[in-house]
Amino acid sequence: MKVVKGTETIVNPLQKSSLHKKGLCDYVINIASGCLHGCTFCYVPSTPAIRARQSELMSRGVENPQLDWGKYLFLRQEIPEKLDIILSRKRIWNYTPSGKGVVLLCSGTDPYQNAETALITRQTIEVLIKHQKRVRILTRSPRWVKDLDLLKNPNITVGMSLPHLNDHLSRQIEPYAPLPSLRFEALKAGYEAGCRLYVALAPTPPEMDYEEFHHLLSKVLELKPEVIFWEPINARGTNGRRMQAAGLDFAESVMSRDAWANSFVHQWEAIERAALELDCTERLHIWVDAELEHYVPASKLQAWFYRPTCERWLADPYSPLDSYPLIDVESISNR
C-alpha cells in the first residue's frame, strides 16, 4: 500500500487516560492518527483508537489499518485552537497520585515524526504552557531538539524510547524510526541544555541480557534522567504477525504466552540487578503486564500498577493532591 496522508477533525483532543496505571499521565493528546515510524512491535493499531475506526480508515484509502500500520497519517491540525478553548473553560482537572495531572503527547503516535507533526506539537505545548499544565513528551525522533527553547521548562519532561543502542537491530525492529544513536545524541543535547528528561527502555527485545542492560543503563545514566521506564516487547493484536513479516527470529517466542512471560521475568531480574549495581533502583520504573499474574507473586505485580514515579513537578495550586516540593529550576539549568 502507498503511504496515505491527510487531515482529520476531532471534537475533544484532550482525552482522559488510563496511563496513570504506568505512572505516565492523567490526560493524553494524540496529534494525529497513524504513525509513519511503523515500528513492528507497536500495539497502537490493536487499541480502540484504531480498531474502532477500521471502516472509516479504509474509506480513506487505508487497505488494512492493522497490517498497514506505518503507512498512514492523518494530522489533527485544529488541536491547538480547540485545546485553548477547552482549557479556557475547564474548571475541573483530573489528578491521580500516579498520573499527577500530567498531559502526555503522545500515546498513539509520535509527536515529532515529521515537520508537520512537530509544528502541531509545538503549538499544542504552547497552549498547555499558557494554561500551566504539566507536560510529558514521548518520542523516538530527535526533532524535538529544535524546540529546546520551549521544552526547557520545569513543567515539561521530555522522554525518548531507547530500548537498546544497537542501530543495526533497530533497522529490523523499527525500520522507519530514527536510529538509537541519534536518539541518544538528542537526549545529550537536551541534558546539556538543562531539559528535564526521562527515558523509556521500551520495548526491549527478548534476547537482551544482564550485560546489555548494564551497558544501556550506564550510558543512559550519563544523561541523568529523572526516571527510567522499562518493559519488554509484548505481543498484542497483530504486532506478532508484523514482527514475523519483518523476519524477526524472536517473534515466535514473544507470541507464546509461556516463553514471553519467562523472558519478561528473566529480563526484569536482569535489569533490576543492573540497576542495583549502578545504584539507580529508585529511578527504575517497571511497566508490568497483568498477563504475568501466574508467573510472579501478586504482590510483586501489584507493587508496580499505579505506582507514582519519583519525578517532581512544580507545585500546582489547583491540584488537590499537590504536596510536591517546588523544583529548583536553577539546579536543573546548572547540571
Whole-angstrom distance, CA of residue 166 vs CA of residue 216: 10
68 binds ligand SF4 (CB under 6 A): no
**Which span sits near ligand SF4 by CB under 6 A: 31-39, 217-225, 253-261, 283-291?**
31-39
Please, are residues 30 and 8 in contact by the beta-carbon 8 Å criterion?
Answer: no
Task: Count H helices and E strands in the chain, helices first.
Answer: 13, 11
Q: Which is nearer to ligand SF4, 217 or 233 (CB)?
A: 233
Q: How far is the CB of 38 from ligand SF4 (least distance, A)?
A: 5
**Which span sits near ligand SF4 by CB under 6 A: 36-44, 183-191, 226-234, 239-247?**
36-44
> Applying CB under 6 A, what is the total number of residues that bind ligand SF4?
11
Whole-angstrom distance, CA of residue 75 vs CA of residue 60: 13
| Dihedral pair phi/psi, residue 228, rounded to 5° | -125, 105
Give the residue from 76, 130, 136 showing the smallest Cα distance to 101.
Answer: 136
Inter-CA distances, 273 with 213, 220, 246, 303, Å: 9, 16, 32, 18
22 binds ligand SF4 (CB under 6 A): no
Among 24, 31, 35, 288, binds ligand SF4 (CB under 6 A): 35
Q: Which is nearer to ligand SF4, 174 or 231 (CB)?
A: 174
Q: Which is nearer to ligand SF4, 185 or 277 (CB)?
A: 185
Among 29, 31, 39, 103, binds ligand SF4 (CB under 6 A): 39
37 binds ligand SF4 (CB under 6 A): yes
Q: Which is nearer to ligand SF4, 36 or 195 (CB)?
A: 36
Number of Cβ within 10 Å of residue 299's Cβ equals: 7
Q: How far is the CB of 161 from ligand SF4 (least distance, A)?
A: 7
Q: How far is the CB of 34 from ligand SF4 (least distance, A)?
A: 9
Q: How far is the CB of 114 from ligand SF4 (least distance, A)?
A: 12
Q: Which is nearer to ligand SF4, 173 or 197 (CB)?
A: 173
Q: How far is the CB of 90 from ligand SF4 (least distance, A)?
A: 27
**Which span sits near ligand SF4 by CB under 6 A: 37-45, 94-102, 256-264, 311-319?**
37-45
The residues with which 7 forms a beta bridge, in sequence order, are 75
Q: Which is nearer to ligand SF4, 174 or 311 (CB)?
A: 174
Cell numbers 519532561: residue? 157
Question: Which residues inside 156-215 make contact with ligand SF4, applying CB under 6 A?
Answer: 174, 177
Inter-CA distances, 13 with 17, 76, 105, Å: 12, 9, 11
Query: Is residue 181 classed as helix, strand or coil in its secondary structure?
Result: helix
109 binds ligand SF4 (CB under 6 A): yes
Q: How far is the CB of 44 from ligand SF4 (least distance, A)?
A: 5
Burial 180-190 (b: 16+ CB within 10 A, else e): bebbbebbeeb
Q: Which is nearer to ligand SF4, 73 or 197 (CB)?
A: 73
Cell numbers 539549568: residue? 333
> Where would I find the H helices in the chain?
48-51, 54-59, 79-89, 115-130, 148-151, 167-173, 180-193, 210-221, 239-245, 251-255, 257-277, 298-302, 329-333
User: Residues interacting with ligand SF4, by CB under 6 A?
Assistant: 35, 37-39, 42, 44, 109-110, 140, 174, 177
